[in-house]
A and B are shown apart, each in its own frame.
Chain A
């Protein structure tokens, strides 16, 4: 079974600085997707970024980028120019490729709480 591990329960960053959140996963599959979700105090789950395992290029969305190391099974999230609105819980998630059976189900890490200091 696949597992996702986020080893940093809490992180803190100064406004305008850069922070990196860690995520490792375990799988025997070769084709899968990885996601970072943000959950602000409103509790809404917001997709931040996604990465297809077959793509070697790291995904980027504005100030958010990932460092995807497939061999090391590592998927870290870098937030540049941190803003107060970035304060939230961040969840790393894994999903098998495909649709049938349990494929398509998300497997979540336990989350990292990010604080942004003004």
Chain B
């Protein structure tokens, strides 16, 4: 079955530590997205990539970094510069046609 997989489901970060969230898709979609979700807020866009080896900042990119070395993979690194990383992170992908975005099941990141 084609889909989009995020791992791990739960992640804990120590102060000053960088952590990486994984997002893999086998739908052969060109575009991939990372969103952050906080309580009482909708999803906010962190980074997006429309093609391999290219990505763009979203609305809240500070303290985060990404890479897109392969079409199927779009990992998100939460750096120590992100002072409030506790949130639910969702990855999504979309093809070039006008179909909706497909979402992964998310990663819950907490501070130790």
Contacts and interface: CB of A to CB of B under 8 A. Distances in A.
Interface of A: 4, 9, 33, 35, 42-45, 47, 50, 52, 91, 97, 99-100, 102, 104-106, 108-111
Interface string B33-74: 100000011111100101000001010000000000000000
A47 to B, nearest CB: 5
A43 B106 contact: yes
B94 interface: yes
B106 A99 contact: no
B43 A104 contact: no
A9 B48 CA distance: 28
Interface residues of B, number: 24
A106 B101 contact: yes
Contacts of A43: 88, 105-106, 108
Nearest to A43: B106
Chain A to chain B: the 8 pairs with minimum beta-carbon distance, closest first: A108-B42, A45-B103, A108-B43, A110-B42, A43-B106, A47-B100, A99-B96, A109-B42
A91 B94 contact: no
Contact of A44 (B41, B103, B108): B103
B78 interface: no
Contacts of B56: 102
Identify which of A42, A99, A105 gathers the most chain B CB atoms within 10 Å of its CB: A105
